[in-house]
Structure 1
Amino acid sequence: MTDRAGTPAEPDPEPTPDPAPEPDREPGPRPEPDPGPAPVPDGDPGREPAPAGETGAGEPGNGETGAGEPETGAGGGAAGKPRRHWLRWTALGVSVVLLGAAGTGWWFYRKLDDNITTDTTAADELRRYEKERPAAVVAAAQNILLIGSDTRSGDGNREYGRDKGTQRSDTVILLHLAADESSATAVSIPRDLMVTIPSCAEGGGGRTREQWAQFNWSFEWGGTACTIRTVEKLTGIRIDHHMVIDFRGFKKMVDAVDGVEVCLKEPVDDADAKLKLPAGRQTLDGEQALGFVRARKSLGNGSDTDRMDRQQMFLGALVNKVQSNGVLLNPTKLYPVLDAATKSITTDPGLDSLRDLYDLARTMRSVPTEKVQFLTVPRRPYTYDANRDELVQPAASELFRQLREDRPVVVTKAEPDEGAEASSDGKPDDAESPAPGVTPTFTGRNAAEGVCS
């Protein structure tokens, strides 16, 4: 349209918007003074109109929103869109965290599992002699042979002497776990005990002949399998599993639990054991602990029996430390212990996974500390060589029968003035022959006593 002069006419003004609806009317769209948030992409569900008489976030009935917020209805409204997005991102974040935690847990599991070394050579050798091995009497009970190797090979071991290419069992403990998980009995077998060592496979491919010799030669001649067969021949007890740990592994285990407490009546200065300590109560780290359990010249009477007693005391204190300070229930404390343990052991195929070790640890955790007992097989100086040992019979056979049949073993602590009479070389007799039909009581200790008791 044009005006009379022929020029274009001004456009009609924009229609005035309707006033805000009354509360009893259906609200209609009204312009916002602010552009508001960015438009939501297509496909997001729109909002339902607010019910009559309600306008959402503002005061009811006035048709306006409060504090400049966009209108929202009970069904979601304009704020429903960011809320849905917030929920989606929260769910996604939680999923990522859970997956990350699961992935980290799996990584730790695989790492610990891969740390364990499996001794397949021993398993093959034992299968060869399966027919001559003793049968298990109580299936649910477990007998595990713990072997401490004195090898000097490998990092962390050479400082204790020249690597001669051979190793002997510096410590051997037969650990019996009762079928009902009510007790654990650890029996030390003296390294100098005279025994029959069967014919065993040598590392070079040959075989040794059966012979009467001191016990720890079995490990040097034929390794773990030869030691297991020697123990089985000696005791009549079927060995279900075994673990071998060296100097380095022992030190790492002690360090992983932040040391173990001991008490010394006198100061110790032993260059051979690399041990120098003041008298009194103190906590030993891994290096000091190794010297403590290996020392012979500066602690006790210098005998191997006295050293075995000290080893038992220390292991009891270590068990007590692990069970008393929450290591087994605290992941931050448990992981270093598991890492040190799995890196340090060589075991049979039936105990070479983290799950297997966890089951073993669970069994040990269920045993009361005072029911974890340590003793040495009844022994005395060998008749033909006072520097060697022989079994005290029938006490030794009775002990082996009780373990074999999973019967309770009674262990009592010897009083300082009631200890067994010492022989000329300082090695005490650990038990006397019991009267016929009387169950012997063996001298030992439990883990609850520790080293400072």
Structure 2
Amino acid sequence: MGIGLGCVLVLSAAGAGWAYWHLNHNIKSVDIDHALGDDRPAKASTAPSPTGGPADGVPSASPPPSGALNILVLGSDSRGGERNKGLGGGSSTGARSDTAMVVHLDEGRTRATVVSIPRDTLVTRPSCPLPSGGSTAVAHGAMFNSAYAVGGPACAVKTVESMTDVRMDHYIEIDFAGFADLVDALGGVTVTTDQDISDDDSHLHLKAGTHHLDGTKALALARTRHGIGDRSDLGRIGLQQDLVKALLDQVSSTSLLSSPTRLYKVADAVTGSLTTDTGLDSLPKLVELGRSLDALSSAGTETVMMPVVPAPSDHNRVVADEPEAGELWRSLR
């Protein structure tokens, strides 16, 4: 889900005046670098990160950055706001990382590896700074998605870095409504399923085959798990990864520049639903990232899941399967 955002944002450079101001002020950000300090893994590359354009806010025409980059992309299950509550269903309060992907962009930005981390993975959650001050205690055998719940984006990033020893150069978060709006603004997304899906919880019922989904149904596909496989989080990860590639294909096939109205709808949907780190918290910075991904396609994107096995303490949970998981993270470093 996250890779397609950068590809869309390169097109939003056409915005100007009020539209530019609106899109730029849509974006919410968290200063993760300040929260976590210097006790972190080394950066993947010394190549410059996106810095945006000159003072007037217009992205520069200089070549975009091309060094290796790691981005933590989270899909939040927050029920904040009526639309998120309606799309999420149920009575859940607070917010967790419903979907977590480490997106590794190779040097040159023509290939990417997307690693999904199952939300039900038991991990050692490190001590994390709290937005209100103080810090959380180290927690052993904690659910991976609890890191976001107890400490927000900074704790999610710190937990991933602790698990992987891979520096997260950037952070991108999107909620239910934002994802659905993005898909709708793109005109829907075409996916192919190799099995029937019948999930009353996500309200998704699809026969095996090819379907063109609107935003609500695409979100349901990303969230469904009770109607496929072993009804666990692991089954739906494959659907989420297929959806990532389908979105990349949809972005590539949509002539946004020929339709200013659709272009603005896409840019508004993307920026209005994002929370980023401060390194990506403006339209120029996001456009710069988007420009650097111009040559990235679904064919150049590999999707994998962190190797896991059932947790000895609870077979409804999983733990990293070593040494395979460690070898995967070493390959990214």
TM bucket normalised to smaller: 0.7 to 0.9
Q: Which runs of 5+ in 1 are unaligned?
A: 1-102, 405-453
Three-state SS of the structure 1 residue aligned to 2:316 is strand
Aligned counterpart, 1:126: 36
1:375 equivalent to 2:304? Answer: yes
1:253 equivalent to 2:160? Answer: no
Alpha-carbon separation, structure 1, partners of 2:107 and 2:193: 37
The one-letter code matched in structure 2 to 1:186 is V
Instruction: Output one character per residue of 1:152-176: Cα deviation in whole Å (capped at 9) or x when no partner.
Output: 1113111223555421100010111
Shift of 1:377: 1.1
Three-state SS of the structure 2 residue aligned to 1:365 is coil
CA-based RMSD of the aligned residues comes to 2.2
1:168 equivalent to 2:75? Answer: no
The one-letter code matched in structure 2 to 1:181 is R
1:200 equivalent to 2:128? Answer: yes
The one-letter code matched in structure 1 to 2:35 is E
Alpha-carbon separation, structure 1, partners of 2:278 and 2:176: 23
Aligned counterpart, 1:241: 170
1:146 alignment partner, one of 48, 56, 73: 73
Alpha-carbon separation, structure 1, partners of 2:190 and 2:168: 32
Q: What pairs with 1:6-45 in structure 2 (closer than 5 Å)?
A: none
Alpha-carbon separation, structure 2, partners of 1:377 and 1:329: 40
Shift of 1:249: 0.6
2:211 alignment partner, one of 261, 266, 282: 282
Shift of 1:325: 2.8
Alpha carbons 1:192, 1:214 under 8 Å: kept: yes
Q: What pairs with 1:56-135 in structure 2 (closer than 5 Å)?
A: 105-120=16-31, 122-127=32-37, 130=38, 132-135=39-42
Alpha-carbon separation, structure 1, partners of 2:255 and 2:96: 35
Judged with a 3 Å threshold, the aligned counterparts in structure 2 of structure 1 residues 152 and 163 are, in CA distance, closer, same or farther, namely farther
Normalised TM-score (structure 2):
0.83
Alpha-carbon separation, structure 2, partners of 1:240 and 1:357: 14
Alpha-carbon separation, structure 1, partners of 2:131 and 2:277: 18
Aligned counterpart, 1:229: 158
Alpha-carbon separation, structure 1, partners of 2:121 and 2:332: 19
Shift of 1:362: 1.7
Three-state SS of the structure 2 residue aligned to 1:156 is helix
Judged with a 3 Å threshold, the aligned counterparts in structure 2 of structure 1 residues 230 and 265 are, in CA distance, closer, same or farther, namely closer
Alpha-carbon separation, structure 2, partners of 1:369 and 1:168: 28
Aligned counterpart, 2:53: none
Shift of 1:200: 1.7
2:85 alignment partner, one of 148, 158, 175: 158
Shift of 1:387: 1.4
Alpha-carbon separation, structure 2, partners of 1:163 and 1:203: 25
Matched residues, number = 299
Judged with a 3 Å threshold, the aligned counterparts in structure 2 of structure 1 residues 237 and 343 are, in CA distance, closer, same or farther, namely same
The one-letter code matched in structure 2 to 1:271 is D
Three-state SS of the structure 1 residue aligned to 2:275 is strand
Which segment is superposed worse, 153-162 or 287-296?
A: 153-162
Shift of 1:222: 0.7
Three-state SS of the structure 2 residue aligned to 1:258 is coil
Three-state SS of the structure 1 residue aligned to 2:236 is helix
Alpha-carbon separation, structure 2, partners of 1:292 and 1:368: 22
Alpha-carbon separation, structure 2, partners of 1:206 and 1:321: 44
Alpha-carbon separation, structure 1, partners of 2:15 and 2:192: 41
Q: Which runs of 5+ in 2 are unaligned?
A: 1-13, 47-66
1:350 equivalent to 2:279? Answer: yes
The one-letter code matched in structure 2 to 1:126 is L
Larger Rg: 1
Three-state SS of the structure 2 residue aligned to 1:157 is helix
Judged with a 3 Å threshold, the aligned counterparts in structure 2 of structure 1 residues 163 and 353 are, in CA distance, closer, same or farther, namely farther
Alpha-carbon separation, structure 2, partners of 1:273 and 1:401: 36
Three-state SS of the structure 2 residue aligned to 1:296 is coil
Alpha carbons 1:157, 1:248 under 8 Å: kept: yes
Judged with a 3 Å threshold, the aligned counterparts in structure 2 of structure 1 residues 104 and 147 are, in CA distance, closer, same or farther, namely closer
Aligned counterpart, 1:403: 332
The one-letter code matched in structure 2 to 1:133 is R
Three-state SS of the structure 2 residue aligned to 1:319 is helix
Judged with a 3 Å threshold, the aligned counterparts in structure 2 of structure 1 residues 371 and 253 are, in CA distance, closer, same or farther, namely same
Shift of 1:202: 3.8
Alpha-carbon separation, structure 2, partners of 1:240 and 1:194: 24
The one-letter code matched in structure 1 to 2:24 is D
Three-state SS of the structure 1 residue aligned to 2:322 is coil
Alpha carbons 1:133, 1:238 under 8 Å: kept: yes
Aligned counterpart, 2:201: 272
Instruction: Output one character per residue of 1:163-222: Cα deviation in whole Å (capped at 9) or x when no partner.
Output: 554211000101111121221111111111121111123455453211211211111111
Alpha-carbon separation, structure 2, partners of 1:227 and 1:271: 30
Alpha carbons 1:382, 1:389 under 8 Å: kept: yes
Aligned counterpart, 1:136: 43
Alpha carbons 2:24, 2:283 under 8 Å: kept: yes
Decide which structure has greater strand share. 2
Alpha carbons 2:197, 2:205 under 8 Å: kept: yes
Alpha-carbon separation, structure 2, partners of 1:104 and 1:334: 9
Alpha-carbon separation, structure 2, partners of 1:263 and 1:336: 26
Instruction: Output one character per residue of 1:369-410: Cα deviation in whole Å (capped at 9) or x when no partner.
Output: 311121111112122221111222222222212211xxxxxx
